[in-house]
Chains A and B, each alone.
Chain A
């Protein structure tokens, strides 16, 4: 047991910071205020990811044969921390490299790997994930969007909702029911569908979170070749289950929270608020919370680095990460005061990104269910 960075890792963090200082435009903060799905950020991400790829950093944790460098998951985790902390200049592509790529490596055909992995690794393709539906949120296995097999094609009908980044995406990783007589977890498959396929329509759902944050995606008689299927037919639940274990600690929310907090402390000092013992108390509490979320996430990365199967540690880290994000989002409103209410202000932008943390990627209550059964071994109700 030791909690040290290797020399290489420490150096890598410094390199990433230098790179960010060089590459981010002067108006980055404004650009990033709508989150990774904002228009400006999505466009920038292609340029930015290209530059990361040129340095070999974008998919460095992938095997060499797929365009990676076999680098340790710790180096990649460091990239994730540094990127998310400043507002994720990789845009939606953080998902590509974290789990869509690895899912393709594990379940993809040779043709699929050849088609998709080089593009992801080069940083010039955007993916979105089409899981949730109006009637299938936490209970994802209730999904209804169907893909009926007709000869060498699937014909897709149905709709997906909350699909982040779909307005910019080139592909959607789509969860569909391929066996119309099936129920629940059986009979589901994963399809890799180009977003420009005829019959796909996107409608924005206006929200308080940010511009073009939420969407509904409609599929009307969308024809795709059977070869777009990832993994075995009707066994898509396993494919996605495996992939999502990686996704759940994907975004380093604690890192962003910690950076925001440093800024808040500085602001509090400037305004003389550190005379206020309550402010000091809240800052100390918040910092400890960020640290707690970080160390639990590191535990998960350690398991991953050792090739161990995913455990409920993922859920522990996930819940605490969302707590940290939420707590610092609220603290920023409190410390900054009424100025925070202006749209686009630092506290406002931060608050909006933080507020969805406990629902996105599987609501906290569902994570708690998993902790209860898998970590504490509690019986079913």
Chain B
């Protein structure tokens, strides 16, 4: 056990931080967000730095650290899929940006509007579709990511990626979700803390009221636990229990952190002049994928008490229902 970065990891993290300082950030996210744009320049910079292709010799934990950092800087880039999902299921690099979706999913898909590759999770299968430019029409959204709608025809073109790839794709996707969530929560909380330290009411800074402090402290506990669970899951890699636990905890925390950071920021927090929304709104988009919090928790139970759930299909159906994003296959 060692919770400190080793030299190699530190080098990777420092390099990506420097790159993101230059190429990403809230202002850039807001600018791109005006018309649902995608940060092609950032992806090019990542590519140039060696963080774009499958060929990079990054370990899974290092990839998690990168995804966390990208999210913290508000990057408008499908790099989580690129860094985690692609290496998990594709034998060679694929043209990015990459979007992820579940077979049978209805509703907007993150990054589909700009993606050149779509990876589809279909039970224990994973499929790959090469998208034609402009094929997935953009869907306007207030939830911080460019979104597109994927047609049934497009899904039908999916080429199977080989046996057992479904579970790998699901794990990698879930791990990426957790890491992105950590980055977004981290930034949303930091933004809120910084704001409340300087905003004064009743003759004192709002951050000095104990009722407020406790709520921020509770958020900090949630964020830190999510962070370390996710990093640990990135290290453990094998077996999806750690990944499912990380996602179950982090995506649940995301709901809490969203509500608290907005409540405590007051009206300014809802505006596009204030940066909070860059990260906070994304949290709810992230909570839509892979069956949401309920889906992650179910994955925890399956992984931990596996046989226990076998053949209990009824529970599965009831869980999934018609809920958005609840399109989890058995």
Contact = CB atoms under 8 A, between A and B. Distances in A.
A269 B9 contact: no
Interface stretch (A95-103, A151-159, A292-300): A292-300
B249 A275 contact: no
B283 to A, nearest CB: 17
Contacts of B229: 288, 291-292, 295
Interface residues of A, number: 52
Q: Sort A-B residue pairs by CB-CB distance and give the 3 closest, nearest first.
A: A284-B297, A372-B213, A292-B225
Contacts of A298: 1, 3, 228
A1 B235 contact: yes
A379 B205 contact: yes
A302 B3 contact: yes
A295 B232 contact: yes
A172 B61 CA distance: 47
B228 A376 contact: no
Nearest to A295: B228
A369 interface: yes
Nearest to A293: B225
B252 A285 contact: yes
Contacts of B221: 296, 316, 319-320, 371
Given A275-B314, A320-B225, A3 B232 contact: yes
Contact of B193 (A5, A280, A378): A378
B226 interface: yes
Contacts of A288: 229, 244-246, 248-249, 252, 296-297, 300
Contacts of B226: 292
A296 B228 contact: yes
B224 interface: yes
Q: Specify the main secondary structure of chain A where it touches its partner.
A: helix
A5 B252 CA distance: 28
B243 to A, nearest CB: 11
A7 B89 CA distance: 31
A305 B301 CA distance: 33
6 contacts: A2-B235, A3-B1, A280-B297, A316-B220, A369-B210, A381-B208
B301 A284 contact: yes
A295 B9 CA distance: 20
A276 B314 CA distance: 8
A281 B298 contact: yes
A283 interface: yes
A289 B300 CA distance: 11
Interface in B198-237: 204-205, 207-210, 213-214, 216-218, 220-221, 224-226, 228-229, 231-232, 235-236
A277 B319 contact: yes
B297 A281 contact: yes
Given A269-B305, A295-B229, A378-B197, A287 B245 contact: yes
Nearest to A258: B304
A276 B103 CA distance: 25
A19 interface: no
Contacts of A281: 294, 297-298, 319
A45 to B, nearest CB: 29
Residue of A4, A289, A316 most packed against chain B (CB within 10 A): A316
A332 interface: no
B304 A371 contact: no
Interface in A192-206: none
A277 B231 CA distance: 29
A277 B244 CA distance: 17
B308 A1 contact: no
A369 B217 CA distance: 8
Contacts of A379: 197, 205, 207-208
Q: Specify the main secondary structure of chain B where it touches its partner.
A: helix
Interface string A301-313: 1110110000001
A265 B304 contact: yes
A316 B225 CA distance: 8
A372 B235 contact: no
Contacts of A293: 225
Contacts of A269: 305, 308
B318 interface: yes
Interface in B13-42: none
Contacts of B61: 1-2
Given A281-B294, A291-B229, A378-B197, A4 B213 contact: no
Interface string B263-298: 000000000000000000000000000000010111
Residue of A262, A292, A313, A377 most packed against chain B (CB within 10 A): A292
Contact of A302 (B2, B209, B235, B246): B2
Contacts of A305: 1
B311 to A, nearest CB: 10
B225 A1 contact: no
A289 B196 CA distance: 28
A262 B218 CA distance: 27
B14 to A, nearest CB: 14
Contacts of A135: none
B309 interface: yes
A235 B170 CA distance: 57
Contacts of A4: 1, 235
Contacts of B315: 274-277, 280
B57 interface: no
B300 A287 contact: yes
